[in-house]
Structure 1
């Protein structure tokens, strides 16, 4: 009896999939069905797809996740810029071939190079933050110029922790320091004053104004830069032109509704919107959900450029290659607690899953682990 709007994004998606499966259709079209699902939920979906295929149902499966295409499809069709590029048996096309056909070029380096980060140069400290029923005594340090990944299964408390840090949820306890000084954050405005920005994982629901064009979307978080009583439209247009170039936002008409943009262009606009406030700490939740592999690589390099400029990034991601390819250290959460902070040789999939599933034998760790 729970209202759909009160469900987690992944649970909403499972309801939508169940609704589609209940139609008893001869042809089933699934468009990015696993964009917000966990590995266990993906396995459940794939079992259903295989059952339907055995019953003679024809399935069109649209996805940017090439591992899934290889695992579930019989044939693969690649589209680029509205044109049919090829259709081949999936056994004849490797993932690298699919990626090249999708973007029209070889992706030589998916992830940016990473430089060592000074352990003592701390941009933000979080101590014993708790959110009732969701997070317990979370503590960590974020170093200047690093990408600190946060891994964990759905329900681990990662998003709740970040929303508590930036003032979107009430903290039942805990302290936050920026550059060694305690700060009080109870709203997004407080977070902005402290140089902290948050890029939501739900760009359509809470990140962008889908029925408006690019300009108000870009400048909404930083309106004070463009005037007090009357906005400086020329300054807004100049900022938009800079953002389009800097973030390679590809829109045929900047005055078109943002809801009509591709997922990749929406995500790049959301990143540009957040960076318009010029934050020093950027929290990015699921940065590449539902976007193509070429745009993924672009966003990875955007994140790398942020750290080269001395900014610090907290990355929440459900994609293991993304977590390992971008993060300098990885904090793992399970059941509302940080169960490990992994670096060096411990920063691998096996260790992440041990901590995420609670079999590491730890109930909490020192922030310096």
Structure 2
């Protein structure tokens, strides 16, 4: 660790040598973090760098395997959220904890409602106190309004008021502007500045460079679960921070082969706008090429492919597959030759309680038996051919899909679309949750698809995968395509630059 921050003064809260592991994954290794009163501490890192894990350890949602905690220089213990709350630590996660059918006041004081001398809830005092907590933030909300009727930005403000009503000394904000407008973000920034002026220590997780330099006093960068560097925000530039975030030696886990110029257009998306936050997206995928769709979590990548596949409605714009406009739902789109390997294969890609045989043929029965007469021997033969070509292990077609490894489950999802005769494959996080050997096999399968003339659109949060697997890539930011990178300009730094500040 390199530190370029003055060390005078005692941190309000300090974490030293924090380590946390999960089965097969080292999430945090010897991470240090110092939080000072009256400062906004920006926490940066790629997806999977360890930011959320560190904050969950800080809040007691995860128990650290090793490491120490200090408050004003004195050792403390944080083993549960109750410990964190008692110490004045509040975390505002991206998924809010408000109860929709309760009022603002009820949400702020849920579980600790003021009582009158008869032991009954003092509703008048609760609303007065809630109003006072909101006024501290410069807000004049009706405390009788239900949480379900509030916008995302308003819910966020109520979460902050709730945290302050606990007398929080440390407030963690995880991507607080991810789902709100610029105007709402300005109101949030005003609140953040008020908290800083009142002596609260703020941890602010963001992927937006403008916020880092507009709000941040200090910056800490994590990479692969380790602390890379902490510094004053005034001592850094956007390019320097991006370099720190991606500065690991890039190990090529897969060596890509190229097969000449791509063929005809398989997918043509024009000015795609959806109710799920996608705005005016243009992209194109040709046969014989792998096109990446990159961006940070929440940028709109999955929303684009769900609209392409007919799973989400298209508001405006047009999607064309092999020259034919997409107008129907997933069943019709699949019949046009499109296969979606979804981000959550267990929930959306597989019937886990069914056999390998049943899963492999679930999308191709209409093709195998166009007259509706099921032939058991023909079905078994088709399944065996897929198991052999995809090297699915174990090779027992009657094995329940639930008991297979993640890599073999992913092969089954690919196999069901191969059996259906698909020529355009959309992969959404295809290597998530699988080991390095299985990743290489998945990449080899993808390469074989394009070698045979298919087209592939690939979403991955692993920037190394986009860089080493794709012919070119589109980068998304806040629901729009912020840029397209040809193969010669495809690098982690360029992807992050487009993903974080659009240029």
Is TM (by shorter chain) over 0.5? yes
Contact 1:150 1:158 in 2 (8 A): yes
Contact 1:166 1:185 in 2 (8 A): no
- Match for residue 341 of structure 2 among 199, 202, 209: 199
Q: Provide the C-alpha distance between the structure 2 equivalents of 1:224 and 1:252, rounded to a whole number of angstroms.
A: 24
Superposed CA offset, 1:278-329 (max 9, x none): 1111111111111111111111111111111111100000111111111001
Cross-structure match for 1:278: 421
**Distance apart, 1:249 and its partner CA:** 0.3
Contact 1:170 1:186 in 2 (8 A): no
Structure 1 segments, 4+ long, off by >4 Å, are 32-35, 49-52
The alignment's C-alpha RMSD in Å is 3.1
Q: Provide the C-alpha distance between the structure 2 equivalents of 1:253 and 1:195, rounded to a whole number of angstroms.
A: 28
Query: Which structure 2 residues correspond to residues 331-342 of structure 1 after superposition, within 5 A?
Result: 331-342=474-485
Query: Which structure 2 residues correspond to residues 98-247 of structure 1 after superposition, within 5 A?
Result: 110-118=254-262, 121-179=264-322, 181-227=323-369, 228-247=371-390
**Distance apart, 1:177 and its partner CA:** 2.3
**Distance apart, 1:255 and its partner CA:** 1.6
Q: Provide the C-alpha distance between the structure 2 equivalents of 1:183 and 1:189, rounded to a whole number of angstroms.
A: 14
Contact 2:474 2:481 in 1 (8 A): yes
Contact 2:477 2:502 in 1 (8 A): no
Q: Provide the C-alpha distance between the structure 1 equivalents of 2:254 and 2:345, rounded to a whole number of angstroms.
A: 23
Q: Provide the C-alpha distance between the structure 1 equivalents of 2:255 and 2:364, rounded to a whole number of angstroms.
A: 30
TM-score, structure 2 normalization: 0.53
Cross-structure match for 2:460: 317
Moved more, 109-118 or 340-349: 109-118
Change (3 A) 1:225 1:122: closer
Moved more, 108-117 or 212-221: 108-117
**Distance apart, 1:222 and its partner CA:** 1.1
Q: Provide the C-alpha distance between the structure 1 equivalents of 2:452 and 2:276, rounded to a whole number of angstroms.
A: 37
Give the secondary-structure state (helix, strand or coil) at the position aligned to 1:288. coil
* Number of residue-to-residue matches in the alignment: 289
Query: Which structure 2 residues correspond to residues 3-152 of structure 1 after superposition, within 5 A?
Result: 30-31=22-23, 39=47, 42-46=50-54, 48=57, 52-55=65-68, 68=224, 110-118=254-262, 121-152=264-295
Q: Provide the C-alpha distance between the structure 2 equivalents of 1:265 and 1:223, rounded to a whole number of angstroms.
A: 21
Question: Unaligned stretches of 5+ in structure 1?
Answer: 1-26, 58-66, 73-94, 100-107, 361-369
Contact 2:254 2:469 in 1 (8 A): no
Contact 2:259 2:288 in 1 (8 A): no
**Distance apart, 1:244 and its partner CA:** 0.9
**Distance apart, 1:166 and its partner CA:** 1.1
Cross-structure match for 1:12: none
Q: Provide the C-alpha distance between the structure 2 equivalents of 1:133 and 1:191, rounded to a whole number of angstroms.
A: 19
Contact 1:34 1:42 in 2 (8 A): no
**Distance apart, 1:117 and its partner CA:** 2.4
Superposed CA offset, 1:124-175 (max 9, x none): 2110111114100111121221100000111111111111011000000111
**Distance apart, 1:330 and its partner CA:** 0.5
Question: Unaligned stretches of 5+ in structure 2?
Answer: 1-18, 28-44, 70-76, 78-222, 228-248
Cross-structure match for 1:367: none
